[in-house]
Amino acid sequence: MIILSWNCRGLGHTRAVPNFRELVRTHMPTLVFLSETLVLSNKVEEIRIYLGFDGAFSVNCDGRSGGLAVLWRYRDMCSILNYSQNHIDMKLSESSYADWRLTGFYGFPETTRRRQSWSLIRNLAATSTLPWCMIGDFNDILSHAEKRGHIAHPEWMIRGFREAINKSNLHDLPIQGHPFTWERHRGHINSVEEQLDRALATAHWKSRFAQATLTNLLASHSDHSPILLDTEPGGVQTAAWKFRFENRWLKEQELTDIVTGHWIYSGNQDMTGKLHHLSTHLSSWIRRLNQDLKDRIASTKNMLESLRDKEDPTSLSRTQELRDTLSNLLAQHEAYWKQRAKQF
C-alpha cells in the first residue's frame, strides 16, 4: 500500500489542486491523508470525484484554519474508527494482510497546546491492539538534529513529544531524501527548517511491513513537503488503460497522414486488426505530444531537488524561479486534463 500525507495549506488555492493531482499521478497512492485543507467537505468530495478515488472522509475546517481529509482508492478498504479536528483514525483492510490501523495526525501548532497533542497520541494508543501506524504533521520534533535554524527548539517540547511516543510504544520511521519537511523564511537570517512531518509505528506494524520506506517529496505549493509511505517498496502499481479517441487530436495537422498511412500499412488485415494497429500507433503518437510537458515537469523537479540544501543567494533565487515555473507547468497540465475530461 502506498500512503501519501501532506499538509497542503489550503485546497482552495489555485496552485494546490494541480500540485495534488501531480503527486497522485506520479506516485499512485492507495490512500491520501491531507491536513490544513482549509475547506469544507463539499470541496473534498469534488476533488475525490475529479481524481477518481472511490472513498473520502473529511473534517471541516474551523473558520480559516484546520481541516482534514482522507481519500482512498478502493471502496471497502477503509473504515473510519473515530476522528477529531486533529486526527482521523482508520482500519485498513487488504486482501494480502490482516486488518491494520492507520491514523492521520495533525498536531496543534500552538506551543501552549502541545501537551494536548501528546495526550491525544497516548489516548489513541490505548484504543486498539491492531498493528498501528500514525502519519502526518505532528508539529513537533524528536531531537535537535531535526531542526536547522538560529533559535534552538525548546528542550521541554522535545522531551514531552519523545515521552508521548515512547509511552505509546511507537517508533519513528526514518525518512529518505531531504531531512527537513517544513521551512520558513528560507534565505533570511531567521530561516528555519524542521522535520515536522513523519510516520510512527508500533513494533507489530514494523514486523509486518519490515521493508516499508518513508520518502520526502517535493511540491511547489505549501511550506510543508509531502511524505510518501510505501509498505511494500518494489510492488508494481498499474492502472487500467483503454484506448479512446480524443476530439482534440483533430486539431493536430499530423493526424490525417498518420491515420491514412497506418490504415494502408495494415494491409489485408480484417477490421479488428486494422483498428488495433491504428490505435497502437495513435497512442504512441499522442504520448510523444504529451511527453514534452512531462519532461519539463520532471526536469524542473530534479533541479529543485538539487537546490534543496543550498542557502546561497543565487541558489535561493533560482529555487523561487523554479517553484514558479513548476506551478505554471502543473497548471498547464491541469488545464489539459480538465479539457480532456469534458470530452467523455
Is 239 inside a domain boundary?
A: no
**pLDDT of 76 above 70:** yes
The angle that helices 255-265 and 271-306 make with each other, rounded to 10 degrees, is 130
Which range among 171-175, 290-294, 323-327 shows the weakest confidence by mean pLDDT? 290-294
Q: Quickly state the pLDDT bin for 244 (edges 50, 70, 90).
A: low
Domain that holds residue 275: 247-341
- How confident is the prediction for the chain on average, in pLDDT? 86
Strands 147-149 and 78-84: unpaired
Q: For residues 126 and 260, state if they share a domain.
A: no
**pLDDT of 344 above 50:** no
Q: What is the 3-state secondary structure (H, E, C) of 266-325?
A: CCCCCHHHHHHHHHHHHHHHHHHHHHHHHHHHHHHHHHHHHCCCCCCHHHHHHHHHHHHH
User: What is the percent of the chain with per-residue pLDDT over 70, rounded to a whole number?
Assistant: 85
Is 235 inside a domain boundary?
A: no
CB burial of 188-225 (b: ≥16 within 10 Å; e: otherwise) equals eeeebbbbbbbbbbbeebeebbeebbbbbbbbbbbebb
From 230, 258, 285, the end of a domain falls on 230
Q: For residues 333 and 193, state if they share a domain.
A: no
Is 237 inside a domain boundary?
A: no
Overall average pLDDT of the 52-58 stretch: 94
**pLDDT of 25 above 70:** yes
Residue in 103, 93, 101, 100 with CA at minimum distance from that of residue 35: 103
Overall average pLDDT of the 2-26 stretch: 89
Highest mean pLDDT among 96-105, 112-121, 146-155, 312-321: 112-121
pLDDT of residue 313: 83
Model's pTM, two decimal places?
Answer: 0.73
Q: For residues 204 and 334, state if they share a domain.
A: no
pLDDT of residue 120: 98
pLDDT of residue 343: 44
Q: For residues 81 and 226, state if they share a domain.
A: yes
pLDDT of residue 15: 78
CA–CA distance, 14 with 165 (Å, rounded to integer): 36
Is 236 inside a domain boundary?
A: no
Q: For residues 276 and 223, state if they share a domain.
A: no
Question: Who wins on pLDDT, 297 or 154?
Answer: 154
Q: How many domains does the chain have?
A: 2
Overall average pLDDT of the 278-287 stretch: 69
Q: For residues 41 and 66, state if they share a domain.
A: yes
Is 242 inside a domain boundary?
A: no
**pLDDT of 195 above 80:** yes
Q: For residues 255 and 216, state if they share a domain.
A: no
Which range among 62-76, 102-116, 254-268 shows the weakest confidence by mean pLDDT? 254-268
Q: For residues 126 and 22, state if they share a domain.
A: yes
